Amino acid sequence: MLGNLSFLKQRTIQILVFGYALFLLYWIWVYTTGQVGTTHNYILSIFSSGILPVFGGISGILLSRKWGFLSSALGKAIFFLSAGVLAYGLASLIWGYYNLILAVDTPYPSLADAIYILSYPFWAIGLINLGKGIGAGYKLRTLQGKIALVLTPIVGAVITYLIFILFAQGGGFSFEDSGIIKIFFDIFYPLGDTILITALGLIYGLSYKAFGGRFKSAINILFIGFLITYFADAIFSYTTTQGTYYNANIGDLLFTSSVFLSVVAVWSLDIKGISSRVREELTMFAPRADKAINNLVLEIVQRQVHIIGPVAWDEAVKVQGITIDAQKNSISVTGDPKVVLEQLVGKYEGLFGNASLEICREATRKFIAQVPQEQIPQILK
């Protein structure tokens, strides 16, 4: 399911894995020795649920620039997913302040919750844009996709009701002696989890056959991380309702694990390409093309830019037979056009599999009547 795990060779990810291993050993000691409400619980929670997500969120936002920041679907996905992780980390640091400084063991509702809830819309926006990048958008055009769009929210709401209301809340909300702020958060959290599980189910269900390539494992790890977040939320809701919650419990272990997987998944999307100076030139210029085959190549690249940002230019300049001249504002194909197109499409397909291939095919349809058939590879027909 996870696919290629070569990203584990990255130094940053190795450091994250090492840090998570240390956390896990520390958590096992805290849990097995029955530590509850001690300084160890609070320190462990601050480092694992606060500092790690803040680091991961900021680094992910910086990484989104390689994928076009807010100008491409993948850039937006990485930015908003990372912003959600950052919001979660900042909220956890505030939670830790209540624990250590104000001596409040379970500060709910509090300022921390006002930051926590920002994670849900950020994650939802990120997942929607991720769906655009890995092929979910194409499936929505089909009858099957339209049916899924209607049924998935219903299924998500039912699952959330069963887990968060019947199980965690004991059958319903109790608003006795509750202020308006607590009532708001009591309703918002299950609603946010409904949106989260719906987005996960819809996007993964529509795109799991389409996305692939070198980043398939990163996307799968990301989905697993968010699924764990959903169940960690359920445990938190249950333990707070039962009055058995304490910092660094099993629910917090799941929260930390979900954040760890999300950060690793985002960093797995790091890609080494051309220099930032050349990338800036290619991103800003609007090339001309004077032949049908040149127009087709340009259309394919620009469609990919809309999804994966400047990485599309990174891959295009690696193809032998494509000449991109930022100074002369032109793009041209030399050599066998069929071979050049096969190599270009292969570059993009290697990133996200059939999802990238479908974008190339859609671009080709626009020029199918202008380009000689013998110049179009079979994979684009």
Confidence of residue 224 (pLDDT cuts 50, 70, 90): very high
The yes-or-no verdict on residue 78 having pLDDT over 90 is yes
Pick 224 or 133 by higher pLDDT: 224
CA distances from 64 to 29, 81, 180, 343 (A): 37, 10, 38, 26
* Out of 108-122, 159-173, 265-279, 323-337, least confident range: 265-279
Hey, what long-range contacts does 366-373 have (CB within 8 A, 24 or more apart)?
Answer: 366/299, 367/292, 367/295, 367/296, 367/299, 370/292, 370/295, 370/296, 371/292, 371/293, 371/296, 371/337
Q: Can you tell me which residue has the tokens 């194409």?
A: 138
Share of the chain above pLDDT 90, in %: 44
d(CA 45, CA 68): 34
pLDDT of the residue at 275? 47
pLDDT of the residue at 88? 95
Q: What is the mean pLDDT of residues 83-99?
A: 96
Q: Give the max Cα distance, the chain.
A: 77
Confidence of residue 158 (pLDDT cuts 50, 70, 90): very high
Q: What is the mean pLDDT of residues 166-171?
A: 73
* Out of 128-142, 242-256, 342-356, least confident range: 128-142
What are the boundaries of each domain within the chain? 6-267, 276-380
* Out of 13-22, 68-77, 324-333, 368-377, least confident range: 324-333
CA distances from 326 to 281, 296, 331, 333 (A): 6, 18, 8, 15
Pick 136 or 89 by higher pLDDT: 89
The yes-or-no verdict on residue 248 having pLDDT over 70 is yes
Cβ neighbours of residue 173 closer than 8 Å, sequence gap 6 or more? 165, 183, 186, 187
The yes-or-no verdict on residue 110 having pLDDT over 50 is yes
pLDDT of the residue at 361? 92
The yes-or-no verdict on residue 325 having pLDDT over 80 is no
Query: C-alpha angle 145/151/155, rounded to 5°?
Result: 135
d(CA 331, CA 345): 16
pLDDT of the residue at 289? 45
* Out of 213-227, 271-285, 326-340, least confident range: 271-285
pLDDT of the residue at 172? 64
Confidence of residue 167 (pLDDT cuts 50, 70, 90): confident
Neighbours of 287 (CB within 10 A): 18
> pTM of this prediction?
0.87
The yes-or-no verdict on residue 218 having pLDDT over 80 is yes
The yes-or-no verdict on residue 170 having pLDDT over 90 is no
Confidence of residue 129 (pLDDT cuts 50, 70, 90): very high
Structure confidence by residue, pLDDT tens digits, 255-274: 999 999 999 998 888 776 54
> Average pLDDT, whole number, for the chain?
86
Structure confidence by residue, pLDDT tens digits, 21-73: 999 999 999 999 999 989 999 999 999 999 989 999 999 999 998 898 999 99
